[in-house]
A = this chain, B = another copy of it.
Amino acid sequence: MNFTPSEGWEARITSSFARQGLMTTMGAVIHPIAPGIVEIAVVPSPAISQQHGFVHGGAVSAIADTAAGYAAVSLMPPGTAALTTELKINFMAPAGGERIVARGEVVKAGRTLTVVQTNVFTETGGTRKLIALLIATIMTLEAKGDFSD
C-alpha cells in the first residue's frame, strides 16, 4: 500500500523515540524506513535477557510494540499522539543472533484506529529469520499540551 506521510515524519518519530527511557535503557535504535514502515533493533545482551540467556520476550514485545506505534505515527497528522490500545504477539523461535529487528508496517490507517503488523527477526550475518509476529491497534489522540508524538 501507499500511504501519505505526515510532514516531517522522520524527525518527528526520531525525536519522540529519543524521549523513551525504556528504549534507551535497552539500547534500542530506530530506523525510519518509509511512511508506515519503521524498524527498531536491539543487540542481545545480559541486560535484556531471560533466564536461559536469550533476549526476554518482554524486550522483544517492547520493541515490536514501539515499532508498531511509530509506524502509525509516521502517518498521523501533526498535533496528534499515538496510544497503543492493545497488542497480541506470537513467539515462534528463541531471540538470539547478532541483532533483533522489529519491522512494523501499517496494515490499515483509520481516522481513529490504525492496525499495524510487526514482524520480528533475528539477524545473523545479514540473514533474517522470523521469530515473532505482533498485531497492534493504535489510537490517534488529539494531543494536549506537550503530549504530541
Contacts and interface: CB of A to CB of B under 8 A. Distances in A.
B87 A115 contact: no
B58 A62 contact: yes
Contacts of A57: 62, 65, 84
Contacts of A16: 51
A133 B147 contact: no
A22 interface: yes
Would you call the interface of chain A mostly helix, strand, loop, or mixed?
mixed
Copy number of this protein in the oligomer? 4
Contacts of A17: 51
The contact size tier of chain A is 35 or more
Instruction: Select the residue from A52, A112, A130 with max chain B CB neighbours within 10 A.
Output: A52
Interface in A16-56: 16-17, 19-26, 45-52, 56
A52 B135 contact: no
Given A52-B147, A137-B85, A22 B58 contact: yes
Contacts of A23: 56
Contacts of A113: 85, 139
A149 B137 CA distance: 24
A62 B59 CA distance: 7
